Structure 1
């Protein structure tokens, strides 16, 4: 009779040891194993990202400095109002025109209460006045169109001067872009 009691005590003791020591340790090992798998996955992902970065860097290094400067001028990485105004003034002065009454406004797109993801491209509207002949203005606009900087004509109004109808007062608004 003592043998069945002893066996029962051993079974109960084994169950107690299992649930109090072995099972918690096993669960801990399993959790650590899952965490290790997540770290391995993150490490593999970081290695993939490093290889993509290295590939992009090598492609970037294949561009000549001249082309990089052209890209920088096309879509600058900061809002450079002074440089834009100087570029416009340089084009205008080539045709004997003078830019005056310059005003600048940052333009954020109006949303109708809808939250949109933020664009990586900023927009700025530049308004100015100039005076000259129509043919000079056409040449100015042609040069502006051919310049490297992305510029959209937003508004144009003109009015001939009362004293000399060959001379026209132009009001121009353009939009330009930059990387945020």
Structure 2
């Protein structure tokens, strides 16, 4: 009988030890395994993401010429000295005299369809003088330029006995 009681007590002690020591460690182990699986899934997702980014990067290398055209059309800053030089060169190339250039406004960002945009706008007022055909050539040069130049307003006046016409333009130039 003593042996049965000792066996039962040993068996109870074993169950108590299993429930108090082993099962909590097993739960910790299961929790740790779940964490490892989550981290592995996260790593797998990030590897796929970076692989996708590298594919996109390789694909963008095929479009470097087009991207460089976009960069020249929308420079990172307004580059006003270069723009003034372009306007002076274009006006003289078309046979006009650039008499005045004023920077009216520099807008930091423009809202497009309710969403804020990174595109900046610079408004300039130009005064050029010369014959009408030269002015048409000047507008054609502005239209064909790589920069995004938009003619916002135009007015002209001519003196009665002079051949040259005075043209006042307000243009908008975009950058980002």
Report the TM range for the smaller structure's normalisation: 0.7 to 0.9
Please, which of 9, 30, 33 is the counterpart of residue 34 of structure 2? Answer: 30
Which residue of 2 is the match for residue 74 of structure 1?
73
Normalising to structure 2: TM-score of the pair? Answer: 0.78
Shift of 1:8: 2.3
User: Cα distance 1:44–1:73, how it changes in 2: closer, same or farther (>3 A)?
Assistant: closer
Please, which of 126, 149, 152 is the counterpart of residue 151 of structure 1? Answer: 149
User: Cα distance 1:103–1:19, how it changes in 2: closer, same or farther (>3 A)?
Assistant: farther
Q: How big is each residue's C-alpha offset from its partner over 1:92-146, in whole Å with a ceiling of 9 and x where there is no partner?
A: 11343222331223224566xx973433x33222211122233332232223223
SS of the equivalent of 2:46 reads helix
Q: How big is each residue's C-alpha offset from its partner over 1:53-91, in whole Å with a ceiling of 9 and x where there is no partner?
A: 12322x146x4xxx7775554333442222222222122
**Structure 1: which 5+ residue stretches go unaligned?**
none
Normalising to structure 1: TM-score of the pair? Answer: 0.76
Which residue of 2 is the match for residue 129 of structure 1?
127
**Structure 2: which 5+ residue stretches go unaligned?**
none
RMSD, aligned α-carbons? 2.8
Which residue of 1 is the match for residue 52 of structure 2?
48
Q: How does 1:97-176 map to 2 (within 5 A)?
A: 97-104=96-103, 105-108=105-108, 116-119=115-118, 121-161=119-159, 164=161, 166-176=163-173
Larger Rg: 2
Q: How many residues align?
A: 170
